[in-house]
Amino acid sequence: MEALVAIVIAVLVSCGVYLLLRARTFPVILGLTLISYAVNLFIFVMGRLRSGAPAVIGSSETYADPIPQALVLTAIVIGFAMTAFLLVLSLRARAELGNDHVDGGAAIGEKPSKPVRPLEEDEV
């Protein structure tokens, strides 16, 4: 079972890395999602794989380590929030930059971007 889980994690990570290296924001977000799935699995596996062992002492002969399960929950929540944020951000970037390239479609030889002007107090 360990080998199978390891292979699953490896496949997820390699697909994730492949997608991360794409130039468009949507595949990048998918890649990050795949990597975070792989990471969550990895954390879970770090508590060792056992079947029929609940994470409660006394309910059965053996029990599973509850800490990685708690860590996975935290990681899932944080990963979910961050992905949601990134989705909204990439939509905003798509609207402001006019394309979904991760570099904002800056072509080689394009004029360098202008410095950002600070907003005045009453500007909305």
Contacts to other proteins by CB under 8 A: 20, 25, 28, 32, 35-36, 39, 42-43, 45-48, 65, 67-68, 71, 74-75, 78-79, 81-83, 85-86, 89-90, 92-93, 96-97, 102-104, 106, 112-124
- Our CB check for other proteins shows the closer of 64 and 79 to be 79
User: Which region, left, alpha or beta, applies to residue 122 given φ > 0 means left and ψ of -120 to 50 means alpha?
Assistant: alpha
Determine the residue type at 102: V
**Least Å distance between CB 29 and other proteins?**
9
* DSSP β-bridge partners for residue 101: 24
- Which contacts qualify for 9-13: CB closer than 8 Å, 24 or more apart? 9/38, 9/41, 9/42, 9/45, 12/37, 12/38, 12/41, 13/38
**Least Å distance between CB 44 and other proteins?**
9
- Our CB check for other proteins shows the closer of 60 and 92 to be 92
**Least Å distance between CB 51 and other proteins?**
18
